[in-house]
Amino acid sequence: MSEKERLLFQENSERRAVRAVYLENQANTRVDERVLEEMLPYFKEQYGNAQSMHSLGAVSKDAIEKARKEVADLIGSRENEIYFTSCASEANNLAVKGVADAYKQKGKHLVVSAIEHFSVLNAARRLGQNGFDVTYLPVDRYGLISPEEVKNALREDTVLVSIQHANPEIGTIQPLEEISRIVREKKIPLHTDATCTAGIIPVDVNSLGVDLLTLSGSQFYGPKGASALYIKKGIKLTPQIDGGIQENGRRAGTENVPAIVGFGKACVLAKSERDDNKRKMLPLRDRLIAALPEKIEHIYVNGHPDKRLPNNVNISVEFVEGEGMFLLLDQKGIYVSSGSACASKALKMSHVLSAINVDPAVGQGSILITLSKYTTSEDIDYLLAEFPPIVKRLRDMSPLYSYFLKTGQRRPAGPGTDYEHEHEHEQNQEEE
């Protein structure tokens, strides 16, 4: 590290030390101290491979089986229905590709929603390139999937339906029980990506009526590196990683024992503390949703007013661009994310915002704020104090805003916006 770099690093650290308000909890959460404590021995002393026959290996094996029970207890399944993976993306890939492959003799049609996470959407898209037919279900302006539309999409050759439990970006919670009744009637496997609900709100595989469910510990104060796929007994699935006998032959690869142990502990804590955490986050979320439009003109809340995750706030700020806002918030030690085109590495507006028909000019100014159990009332005060001047500063240099002030008219930000979702992109071109 050069002297200049060292000074910069020091300056950054000092700046961060002033105040750090982490509000990107849909991306990752801070590991709970009690989770970390539980994990540490499995780095230091109990480092055996869980597949080894000696007694050190047995300790790891036992730890994994304990965690398996803890995960099962959180979602109301049996232990032998829980399969550990490295991340939620892997679990989603295993569910979508694994089930599609195992049932391909029966048919080659899948149904997914247009606002799934990319690990479902792109897995489905790849199957589409390999001879499968994929139906992408539209959503309404709140992001809700209509059970009726699901019903109409089902065919004789449908082998999998994958509908997320809630959307991580706009927080909309789907009527999954209703959807599962319809899908079950046809005896078609139903997968749900519950990555942003498990550990946050009640998730029970029996009451939801799903056959496969993805959950991830890092979303609720567990470590990165361990997630799980619930696979109901009797559901067939082709492994996507071939190798040894781990996870009953359905997912090969040496188990990440410390992460799995931490995941299990996070599930135990979530089961007893989830409702308290929700009671803490909900008023903070509602305060933000009420106060932001009071403090800043021309902003819109994306997502559903009630059927919404207790930690999700997604707003579009008109006349400014999202990346500018999050960079300036970052300077204040406030960490959020943006669904704008300029902030995404692909330079395209979020497929979720375009699916709920957010005007591209407005969607560019989107900010996603997600709370955790660590978020305090002071954090919200700080955000509410710092955010309005940032918006004002960017609006003062926005030609779209000065045009609006002069004429009272809105003008489009640009001739058009590219869409991430090929399906919608095609539709768009047709409309043009």
Partner 1 sequence: MAFYSEKVMDHFQNPRNVGEIKDADGTGEIGNPVCGDMMSFYIKVKDNVIEDVKFKTFGCGAAIAVSSMVSEMAKGKTLDEAMQITNASVAKELGGLPPNKMHCSNLGADALHKAIEDYKRKHGGTT
Q: Is 87 a catalytic residue?
A: no
Backbone angles phi and psi of 33, in degrees to 5? -55, -40
Select from 323, 333, 404, 410 the one that contacts partner 1 (CB under 8 A).
323
Backbone angles phi and psi of 147, in degrees to 5? -55, -35
Select from 283, 414, 422, 427 the one that contacts partner 1 (CB under 8 A).
414
Q: Which residues, in sequence order, are CB contacts of 350 under 8 Å at separation 6+?
A: 169, 339, 340, 344, 363, 366, 420
Query: According to the binding rule CB under 8 A, does residue 412 interact with partner 1?
Result: yes
Q: Minimum Å distance from CB 119 to partner 1?
A: 22
d(CA 36, CA 50): 20
Starting at the edge strand found earlier in the chain, the sheet holding 299-301 runs 299-301, 312-317, 366-370
d(CA 273, CA 35): 14
Select from 3, 415, 429, 430 the one that contacts partner 1 (CB under 8 A).
415
Select from 7, 8, 58, 385 the one that contacts partner 1 (CB under 8 A).
8
Query: According to the binding rule CB under 8 A, does residue 244 interact with partner 1?
Result: no
Q: Minimum Å distance from CB 11 to partner 1?
A: 11
Radius of gyration of the chain (CA): 23
Q: Which residues, in sequence order, are CB contacts of 186 under 8 Å at separation 6+?
A: 154, 158
Query: According to the binding rule CB under 8 A, does residue 290 interact with partner 1?
Result: no
C-alpha distance from residue 60 to each of 71, 219, 262 (Å)? 16, 24, 13
Which H/E stretch holds residue 343?
Answer: none
Cβ atoms of 373 and 269 within 8 Å: the answer is no
Query: According to the binding rule CB under 8 A, does residue 389 interact with partner 1?
Result: no
Query: According to the binding rule CB under 8 A, does residue 10 interact with partner 1?
Result: no
Select from 206, 207, 254, 331 the one that contacts partner 1 (CB under 8 A).
331
Which residue lies nearer to partner 1 by CB, 243 or 399?
Answer: 399
Binding letters toward partner 1, positions 338-377, x by CB under 8 A: --xxxx-x-xx-----------xx--x-------------
C-alpha distance from residue 53 to each of 57, 120, 195, 283 (Å)? 6, 37, 34, 51
Q: Minimum Å distance from CB 431 to partner 1?
A: 16
Tell me how many residues contact partner 1 (CB under 8 A).
Answer: 33
Query: According to the binding rule CB under 8 A, does residue 416 interact with partner 1?
Result: yes
Judged by the rule CB under 8 A, the positions of this chain that interact with partner 1 are 8, 319-321, 323-324, 327-328, 331, 340-343, 345, 347-348, 360-361, 364, 396-402, 412-418
For the annotated catalytic residues, the residue numbers are: 342
